[in-house]
Amino acid sequence: MGKVILEMRNICKTFPGVRANHNVCIDLREGEVLALLGENGAGKSVLMSILDGFYQPDSGEIYIDGRQVRLTSPQAAIARGIGMIHQHFMLIPVFTALENIILGLELKGDPFLRREAYRSRVQEIIDRYGLAVDLDKRVADMSVGEQQRVEIVKTLFRSASILILDEPTAVLTPGESRDLFRVIKQFQADGKSVIFISHKMDELMEFSDRITILRQGEVITTFDTAQTSIKELASTMVGGDVQWAQNVHEKTAGDIRLRLEDVCIRDQREVEIVKHVSLEVRAGEILAVAGIDGNGQNELAEGILGLRHITGGRIYADGEDITNASVKSLLERGFGFVPPDRKSQGLVLDFSIRDNLLLEEMDRPAYSSRGFLRHREILRFAKELIGKFDIRPANPDALVKNCSGGNQQKVIVARVFSRRPRVLVAVNPVRGIDINATEFIHRRLLEQRKDGACIIVVSTDLDEVFSISDRIAVICQGELMGVCDAAAVTPEDIGLMMTGVRKEDASCG
Amino acid sequence: MEFITYILTSAVRSAIPLTLAGLGGVLSERAGIMNLALEGQMLMGAFFGVYFSYATGSPWLGVLGAMLVCALVGLVMAVLSIRLCANQIVVATAINLISVGITGYCLKMFITNIGNGTVITVPSFRAVSIPVLSSLPFLGEVLFSYKPLTYVTILLAVLIHIYLYKTKLGLVHRSIGENPLVADTLGINVNLVRYGAVVACGVLCGISGAFMSLSNLNQFQNGMVSGRGFIAFAAVIFGGWSPFGVLGASVFFGLADAIQMRMQAMQTGISYHLLQCVPYLCTLVALVFARKSAACPASDGLPYRKEET
């Protein structure tokens, strides 16, 4: 193994309320592929954005070839040979590949854009690494895989010797992924180093030299890939030694209230993102849908709630067919939804707490008559919910955008839960909020269960899944890997199933 | 034949100020600043063109003065919308309204203090007849018998086309209108380019306004731009945010204007109030059929704030 060319020492980075990185140390050797593994929010992307000069660390040092450097901007990083391929590509869709690759280069000197003068130099890189890119094609007309190759060529053309790839295969087909790893092998052969972030364990095992695991902003350990196993990685990633909060499984489950039969959903691009999912959820039960982000779970939730067209299969509530029913009729039926993105889907940020609490209630005669709002009643209603759900500030007229994430989430939860939903779908209900608000919302969820609600919690966070659910359904690439009893399964097994191992093969109960 | 010649030459005359302001709009919007203040800046250009032409005795220096004043107005717009991230539509509206006030006040001062109460006609442009070519039948009149700024305008359209599509800076300029974050990660000074674009737009509006007051009327009248700035804005969209597209769209609107003026003169019995609406109706119809979002810079109108680091 080559010499160490990059070192990050004691990197700390805090965002308001979130400790993204704490005393993180990693090192990278010449010609090596280093993988970063961790759950969502473990701090991998922030760490890489620091290395790319996009964020500045609060403290800590970065050394390249043994010399300390300050990476104050992405340009400073690329000048040191560090180039990052973001999950969201930094490309101009209406420009051709060639224009994107040479954009912003050599602005001083000859003012004219001589595309042809660059073409042979760019083509040389394309040929050397076998990156299939049509230089005259507009990026907007390209597949995601080809766009990624343009991004890679752009970075290489700026002489990057350390390449950072943030979940590069998340958007690729299996064939494109194989091609990408062939390209990465070629970098290695050229003495270039690669850091890549991935959730897909089989990829990590096959293509990386070492694997560094982060959890809650800290480096847990680094493995030599040759001397570890998927099982060890999974348990280290989710923290097998962590005591899972004990969920008292009161056997409250009643009749089957929601039934999904062979549900399929295709998205705008006609790609099937939910494939033949069949599930039953009972009254008084919490079913968790676990999975790595972007495996179709959000679309499934939207499908159940009438927000997305079901393209195959049926959904029944209390035995009645509600497939593709209108949102309004589902709300009247007692469906409730805690959406994945509170800021864009759950709240009107520029409204007050009171007005946000009112959104689903304003048609009730108690709060409006003949189209006019009854402010006194509404105020009483808002104050009651603020007290009951401990929303801070306890001022009904405070603007929601000025509340912390936890309190914003409480506003949504208060609004939805106060209607005593019969079927409740909550997507990542505690994402990005602090531990107290998390505990609070989880207690409320358990209360709803006790009241006999039928609850689906979609979550990417295994801690959450285990602390509140009765049963766990695991989804991977739109397919159900299996449904397990929460009391009879280990986080390791769920972790395995999240990466595409079926229940039968995961040896769980 | 005489009718066609009249329509064509008058269409070109109407099209020139639209083209000039529209070219400014292209520069500004290609850098992501939605510029609805063409109208106000043209009005300022129209007045200060007259003022400086009177003060210096030369219409060329009049145009130069108008350019400088409008560059300043553009700079104000730039500071407000780029540095302070103010809403670009509100800023533009404010500039349009303030321009009416400033030019109205200045005109009054100009007339009372200098003209002793009468409207002053100032030194203005004369048509340049290009030798030989201008004496060609038909073509001579339609193509080669205009005021000098007409030819300057066409040259500017060509130069701006070359800038946007044939230079490195032009590529950078267009990338900023599409996605400033991409440009920023490549080490491009996004706001510097945006400042340049908005100020250049002011300069072009200055020439446009000065053309209106110094090539046609030789004097300034209150509100004389009367919505042409907004038609120029429409020409930017109709012309697909490209210099030659704006030129073509402006000629189209110019034709509509020429036809309605001719109809007024023919005394068809249709109220001239209605006839005057024709170019504006054409604008509406044209915009409906314009290839909508196809060419619109993706980040047009959005302020760019650097991410907290």
For the segment A379-432, what is each residue's pLDDT rounded down to a tens digit? Answer: 999 999 999 998 878 889 888 887 777 788 999 999 999 989 999 999 989 876
For residues A243 and A467, which has the higher predicted lDDT (pLDDT)? A467
Cβ neighbours of B178 in A, within 8 Å? 92-95
Lowest mean pLDDT among A11-25, A253-267, A494-508: A494-508
Six-digit token pair at B19?
Answer: 């083209």
Is the pLDDT reported for residue B292 higher than 60?
no
> What percent of chain B is modeled with pLDDT above 70?
97
Is the pLDDT reported for residue B295 higher than 90?
no
Which of A107, A141, A150 should we substitute to test contact with B (largest number of B Cβ atoms within 10 Å)? Answer: A107
Q: How many CB pairs under 8 A join A and B?
A: 68
Cβ neighbours of A150 in B, within 8 Å? none
Six-digit token pair at B108?
Answer: 């009054």
Global ipTM: 0.85
Lowest mean pLDDT among A232-246, A285-299, B59-73, B133-147: A232-246
State mean pLDDT over A38-53.
82
Q: What is the mean pLDDT of chain B?
A: 88
For A73, nearest residue in chain B (alpha carbons): B185
Give the DSSP per-residue string, A55-82. S--SEEEEEETTEEE---SHHHHHHTTE
How confident is the model at residue B309, as a pLDDT?
Answer: 31
pLDDT tens profile A392-407: 788 898 888 877 777 8
For residues A109 and A347, which has the higher predicted lDDT (pLDDT)? A347
Q: How confident is the model at residue A495 (pLDDT cuts 50, 70, 90)?
A: confident
CA of residue A148 relative to chain centroid, distance: 19
State mean pLDDT over A481-508.
82
* CA-derived radius of gyration, chain B: 20
User: pTM above the 0.90 mark?
Assistant: no
How confident is the model at residue A222, as a pLDDT?
Answer: 92
CA nearest A19: which of A214, A217, A220, A213?
A: A217
- The answer to whether the CB atoms of A113 and B175 lie below 8 A apart is no
CA angle A198, A204, A209 (to 5 degrees): 120
Pick from A94, A104, A110: which is nearest to B188 by CB? A104
- The answer to whether the CB atoms of B166 and A113 lie below 8 A apart is yes
Pick from B167, B174, B182: which is nearest to A91 by CB? B182
State mean pLDDT over A29-53.
86
CB contact set of B113 (below 8 Å; sequence gap of 6+): none
CA of residue B221 relative to chain centroid, distance: 18
Lowest mean pLDDT among A159-168, A486-495, B37-46, B117-126: B117-126
Cβ neighbours of B185 in A, within 8 Å? 54, 74-75, 90
> What percent of chain A is modeled with pLDDT above 70?
93
CB contact set of B177 (below 8 Å; sequence gap of 6+): B29, B30, B31, B32, B297, B298, B299, B300
CB contact set of A494 (below 8 Å; sequence gap of 6+): A290, A462, A465, A472, A474, A484, A508
How confident is the model at residue B75, as a pLDDT?
Answer: 97
Q: How far is A108 from chain B, CA to nearest CA, in Å?
A: 9
How confident is the model at residue A242, as a pLDDT?
Answer: 40
Q: How far is A58 from chain B, CA to nearest CA, in Å?
A: 10
Residue B175 forms contact with A (CB below 8 Å): yes
pLDDT tens profile A216-271: 888 989 999 989 888 788 778 766 544 344 456 566 678 899 999 999 999 877 88
